[in-house]
Structure 1
Amino acid sequence: MSTNALYTDLSGYYDLMCCDINYQQQSNSVARLHQILGNSGKQHLDLACGTGPHVRHFIDLGFHSSGLDINQPMLDIAMRRCPEAQFSLQNMTEFYVEQKLDLITCFLYSIHYSQGIEALKACIASVHNALNAGGLFCFNSVDKHKINNKALVRHSADFEDSQFVFESGWHYSGVGEMQALNLSIAKTQFNATQQWQDSHSMVATSFTELQALLAPYFDVQIFEHDYDRIIPWDLASGNALFVCTKRER
């Protein structure tokens, strides 16, 4: 199955796959960070927005919110969820906006969808160009050196007379600039089980390398991956929230 085939074929199940994610909590936390460290403006864009749950919450928080993604079936669902928002089929590594923005978000580790370091650099430059003065770029990331290749996240859910089991896990070989997000979905209905397996190639960086890429464009602060509290990164954990305030070049 090709890199995005699973997401395309099962886009209708994406929200079910992510049903354990507290989108409201994440959105509220980043909105608070924007009040503290950003320019408090209300023009918002969500990169790799998927089916639009974060966009929905930012609209409810009073933002003029929009989203972009490379997957049209996802965007179709997002447009139904948020008919008042603007969505565009674009690659986040080279995107264009007509109006400058105050807040750009990229949740669920989607920053890693950049295909290599050069693409990640292009994404960072595109974000900087799209932001107003004092605008904020918020995203979460995983440090390639802290990845446990044996660790998996697993949850199950029932939907339309079927039971679904979802598994995901990072894998990094220890060398190079690419890592993988391995996904597995099992759907059981009437004692028959269908299975999908997919491996998404994603850019791998350490937090030190990522800070160096961001430094020419942003003042960077790193926080613990905790959407309940605003806590500085402990310098040890492998997941973190990057909060980047635009610096004029």
Structure 2
Amino acid sequence: MFTKTAEYYDALYHFKDYGEACNSLHELIQQHVPHAKSLLDVACGTGKHLEYLQHHYSCSGLDLNPELLAVAHKRCPMVPLHQGDMSDFRLPSAFDVVVCLFSSIGYVQTLENLRKAVTCFTQHLNSGGLLVIEPWITPENYWVNRITANFVDQPNLKIAWMYTSQLRGRTSIFDINYLVGTKEGVNSFTESHVMGLWTDSEYRDIIETAGIKVQYDAQGLFGRGMYYGIKN
């Protein structure tokens, strides 16, 4: 997971408008928990969401990947960052808002790990706090054997990355092939991404069982939907 591409991550996802997404998220938080002061971003990656959210809340971030956290630390040096597995972490404090964005939840891979992750999220959520999860693609909307290609065209960085979507059990498999060009030369490598595929009812059942009165927004922040709700 992004062990080879951490330094290129922001360029790879240049098409995502983090500012707009965070404005929408801030509006959602203010609508449901206007008293919110603290926020935990689980699977925070390179800190692009935190870059915006830190202006509204006392933020913390958590991610499994130390390479991504290193980039996040440079971007948000004043934000506490923790390395940990989203399905099994323990932080010393709870938060008014816990978010897991941009389909990162899919990386827990199994339904049992999804249950463990959501339990961890709610354990770190204050009573009356807000949980927000952007899900990965549902099984019925996943296209097997679809070829996808993306490109980065910057003055000093050129990247072509492509993959064929595969299915193994209840997981999506992307063996992504990268061709990266810099002033130092051209490099090629492969990175494997394995993400769990769960139904809407499975997401809802696990979130509600964890004590969250779940609601769903079909569009979400990035077109993949969004589950959210208040902790009982």
SS at 1:133 equivalent: strand
Query: Which amino acid in the other structure matches residue 23 of structure 2?
Result: N
Gaps in structure 1 of 5+ consecutive residues: 229-236
Verify: 1:179 aligned to 2:172, yes or no: yes
Query: Which amino acid in the other structure matches residue 241 of structure 1?
Result: M
2:164 & 2:60 partners in 1: Cα distance? 29
SS at 1:95 equivalent: coil
CA offset digits 1:129-157 (Å, max 9, x no partner): 11011211112112112111244554322
Query: Which amino acid in the other structure matches residue 33 of structure 2?
Result: G
Verify: 1:165 aligned to 2:160, yes or no: yes
Range that drifts further, 99-108 or 179-188: 179-188
Q: Post-superposition shift, 1:117?
A: 1.3
TM-aligned CA distance change 1:32 to 1:227, over 3 Å: same
1:11 & 1:27 partners in 2: Cα distance? 21
CA offset digits 1:15-60 (Å, max 9, x no partner): 1111111111111111111122235312111111111010111012
Query: Which amino acid in the other structure matches residue 242 of structure 1?
Result: Y
Question: Aligned to 2:195, which of 195, 202, 208?
Answer: 202
Verify: 1:134 aligned to 2:111, yes or no: no
TM-aligned CA distance change 1:99 to 1:189, over 3 Å: closer
Which residue is 1:15 aligned to?
Answer: 10
Q: Post-superposition shift, 1:123?
A: 0.5
TM-aligned CA distance change 1:152 to 1:52, over 3 Å: farther
Verify: 1:240 aligned to 2:228, yes or no: no
Range that drifts further, 38-47 or 97-106: 38-47
Query: Which amino acid in the other structure matches residue 10 of structure 1?
Result: T
Question: Aligned to 1:41, which of 36, 39, 56?
Answer: 36
2:166 & 2:132 partners in 1: Cα distance? 24
TM-aligned CA distance change 1:152 to 1:137, over 3 Å: farther
Are the equivalent residues in 2 in contact too, given 1:39–1:134 (CA < 8 A)?
no
Query: Which amino acid in the other structure matches residue 215 of structure 1?
Result: E
1:177 & 1:136 partners in 2: Cα distance? 28
Which residue is 2:140 aligned to?
Answer: 145
Range that drifts further, 36-45 or 105-114: 36-45
Are the equivalent residues in 1 in contact too, given 2:134–2:220 (CA < 8 A)?
no
2:180 & 2:20 partners in 1: Cα distance? 29
Which residue is 1:234 aligned to?
Answer: none
Which residue is 2:65 aligned to?
Answer: 71
TM-aligned CA distance change 1:165 to 1:222, over 3 Å: same
Which residue is 1:115 aligned to?
Answer: 109
The share of aligned pairs that are identical, in percent, is 23
2:23 & 2:146 partners in 1: Cα distance? 28
SS at 1:94 equivalent: coil
Matches within 5 A, 1:207-222: 207-216=200-209, 217-222=211-216
SS at 2:29 equivalent: helix
TM-score between both structures, scaled by the size of structure 1: 0.83
SS at 2:116 equivalent: helix
TM-score between both structures, scaled by the size of structure 2: 0.89
1:22 & 1:85 partners in 2: Cα distance? 21
SS at 1:205 equivalent: coil
Which residue is 2:97 aligned to?
Answer: 103
Question: Aligned to 1:27, which of 15, 22, 27?
Answer: 22
Which residue is 2:221 aligned to?
Answer: 227
**Corresponding residue pairs, total:** 229
